[in-house]
Structure 1
Amino acid sequence: MCHFFANQPPESYASETRSIRLNGQSTSIRLEKVFWDILALVAEQQGFSSVPRFISTLHSEVLALRGEAQNFTSHLRCICLLALERGLVTPARDEADRAAA
């Protein structure tokens, strides 16, 4: 029953840390690779030239709306889920996914 989920390649959920500038300050964000991949699709769909530019703009907008960016990494994960849920992005399926479908 859960084979589709259990068979997920470990590389897709391995953590990856990237350095980024938010409001002029260097910081790092750690997300699983699958989330970085989805953020790249969201950034492209939203017309941004790069994921860091998208994240930086998003962070600034969150600060403007809320005054702080609480748990920003979780916010990024939720953005990925919302984008998938609302059909804003369609992640590319790899060979194994296509074979199983």
Structure 2
Amino acid sequence: MSSRMSRGGRVAGGADRQGFDPFEENFNMGLAQPLSRSVRLNGFATCLRLEAVYWRILERIAELNQCSVNAVLSYVDREVHLRHGGVRNFSGLIRVVCVVFLLGPQVTR
């Protein structure tokens, strides 16, 4: 537990502000389990290793866009190459895409 957290999930010194302690709410450690999946990115077969929670988020993004997870990943791969010439850590980029999806557009400003 961080030094800013107190028992009961409240931020220490933060009056009535709610803190976050995932272990008080039956945290599912399975979500942290890395999973490797074979994917096809713009015609090239590769393997992508992400924690289970990120695969779940990607499934939600694909569902909202009415496409497959492979289509989402191919889109990110294509756009990062077109806009930035590529990326060294594609798995890291996908994790960031998932977090931005969860946080909403205000995080990109």
Query: By the TM > 0.5 criterion, same fold?
Result: yes
Q: What CA distance in whole angstroms lies between the structure 2 residues aligned with 1:74 and 1:30?
A: 10
Counterpart code for 1:5: P
What CA RMSD, in Å, does the superposition of the two structures yield over aligned residues?
1.8
Select the residue among 34, 42, 52 that pairs with 1:23. Answer: 42
In structure 1, stretches of 5+ residues that fail to align are 88-101
**SS, match of residue 94 in structure 2:** helix
Higher relative contact order (CA 8 A, sep 6+): 1
Kindly state the Cα deviation for residue 60 of structure 1 after the two structures are TM-superposed. Answer: 0.6
> Size of the alignment, in residue pairs?
86
User: TM-score when scaled to structure 2?
Assistant: 0.70
Q: What CA distance in whole angstroms lies between the structure 1 residues aligned with 2:69 and 2:101?
A: 15
CA contact (8 A) 1:48 1:54 kept: no
In structure 2, stretches of 5+ residues that fail to align are 1-6, 10-19
Select the residue among 37, 54, 74 that pairs with 2:56. Answer: 37
| Higher fraction of helix | 1
User: TM-score when scaled to structure 1?
Assistant: 0.75
Q: Which residue of 2 aligns with 1:54?
A: 72
Q: Percent same amino acid at aligned positions?
A: 33
Kindly state the Cα deviation for residue 72 of structure 1 after the two structures are TM-superposed. Answer: 0.9
Indicate yes or no: 2:6 matched with 1:5: no
Structure 1 or 2, whichever has the larger Rg, is 2
Kindly state the Cα deviation for residue 17 of structure 1 after the two structures are TM-superposed. Answer: 0.5
Q: What CA distance in whole angstroms lies between the structure 1 residues aligned with 2:32 and 2:57?
A: 12
Indicate yes or no: 2:100 matched with 1:82: yes
- Please identify runs of 4+ aligned residues in structure 1 that moved more than 2 A: 1-4
